Amino acid sequence: MKIVVLDGYAANPGDLSWEELKKLGECVVYERTSPEEVLERADGADALFTNKVRIKGDLMARLPQLKYIGVMATGYNIIDTDAARERGIVVTNIPSYSTPSVTQMVFAHLLNITQQVQRHSDEVHKGRWAANKEFCFWDTPLIELSDKKMGIVGLGHIGYAVARAAMGFGMRICAYTSKSPFQLPHELKRMELDELFAECDVVSLHCPLTPETRGLVDARRLALMKPSAILINTSRGPLINERDLADALNDGRLFAAGLDVLSSEPPHADNPLLTARNCYITPHIAWATAEARTRLMGIAVSNLKAFVEGKPQNMVVRF
């Protein structure tokens, strides 16, 4: 079996091993692959692995030997799944590997915003605490999470984990979900989307990017939110209309936003959120702890092994 990894650097920049994958066949790992290089590098491959490199139908048509595509991520919108189905190509993804790490990032952003951790550390290093007359020093509002309403949009593995963590802070949990109220724990209140945006002090996005959710957070929905509210997005950048969010932040109609994803990554220099007031942005690293990437690599190998044994798992295309 010939195995080709098109963009291995994303999941493994050198601190992990490809040895377990290499045991399954002839394996070539490329750190990065441009669109122009995909066909040449994928030629003759039985199995392709990709993190962000798109695999379209016209490419599949030129790779008659291809039997398997392993997406080294949870989201698989980079794959033409209809074309894969037509050609009998198995496509797998890696669900749930990053749940603890993404949950951690949600609260890293939320705690930084409410306690202004980075700002106050910077001010201490500038000497402002040393020059202060009192034993303590702060120059921004400090906000307690207890009894605040946390609104979670999407109750998959990560949404549930965020809910559990928020309960630990004493927050009241609301969720927009397709699950019925009877499927939810009693501590969690089901809400319609507009109601959740209007009532909650914190809104955290955990839904997939689909045609229906693209631009979910727009000017109309932002206008529903409290001026004191906080928006967190560790899911997909295009869930948010970035111009509308920047305007809401700059006008003081929304208190703050904590984002780990943007609509274009890396962002364009003119992205309005880069200069927006109280907008805290991390470079899509919620998933990237060593522990999460180790799980990702292990599941990627397990997925291919299961396929070879005729018992494919984590399939995103059904025949």
pLDDT at 183 over 90: no
Residue with the larger pLDDT of the pair 131 and 182: 131
Strands 202-205 and 230-233: parallel
Q: What is the mean pLDDT of residues 138-147?
A: 96
Q: Read off the pLDDT of residues 10-20 as tens digits, 9 standing for 90 and up.
A: 999 999 999 99
| Catalytic, out of 26, 37, 187, 265 | 265
pLDDT at 304 over 90: yes
Q: Read off the pLDDT of residues 24-59 as tens digits, 9 standing for 90 and up.
A: 999 999 999 999 999 999 999 999 999 999 999 999
Q: Read off the pLDDT of residues 147-178 as tens digits, 9 standing for 90 and up.
A: 999 999 999 999 999 999 999 999 999 999 98
Which pLDDT does position 128 carry in this prediction?
96
> Side by side, which strands form the sheet with 256-259?
188-190, 172-176, 149-153, 202-205, 230-233, 256-259, 279-281
Q: Which CATH architecture has domain 99-281?
A: 3-Layer(aba) Sandwich (3.40)
pLDDT at 182 over 90: no
| Catalytic, out of 236, 242, 293, 295 | 236
Q: Read off the pLDDT of residues 259-287 as tens digits, 9 standing for 90 and up.
A: 999 999 999 999 999 999 999 999 999 99
Residue 296 has which token pair?
């990702």
pLDDT at 22 over 90: yes
- 301 band by pLDDT with thresholds 50, 70 and 90: very high
Q: Quick count: other Cβ atoms within 10 Å of Cβ 82?
A: 10
Catalytic annotation present for 20: no
Residue 18 has which token pair?
């490809």
Which pLDDT does position 11 carry in this prediction?
95
| Domain boundaries along the sequence of the chain | 2-96+290-308, 99-281
CATH topology agreement for domains 2-96+290-308 and 99-281: yes
Indicate the fold that domain 2-96+290-308 takes in CATH.
Answer: Rossmann fold (3.40.50)
Residue with the larger pLDDT of the pair 319 and 69: 69
Catalytic annotation present for 236: yes
pLDDT at 319 over 90: no
Query: What integer best gives the mean pLDDT of the chain?
Result: 96
Entry pTM? 0.92
Q: What percent of the chain has pLDDT over 90?
A: 94
CA dihedral 300, 315, 162, 97 (to 10 degrees): -10
pLDDT at 232 over 90: yes
Catalytic annotation present for 206: no
- In the chain, the DSSP E strands lie at 2-5, 26-29, 47-50, 68-71, 90-92, 149-153, 172-176, 188-190, 202-205, 230-233, 256-259, 279-281
pLDDT at 179 over 90: no
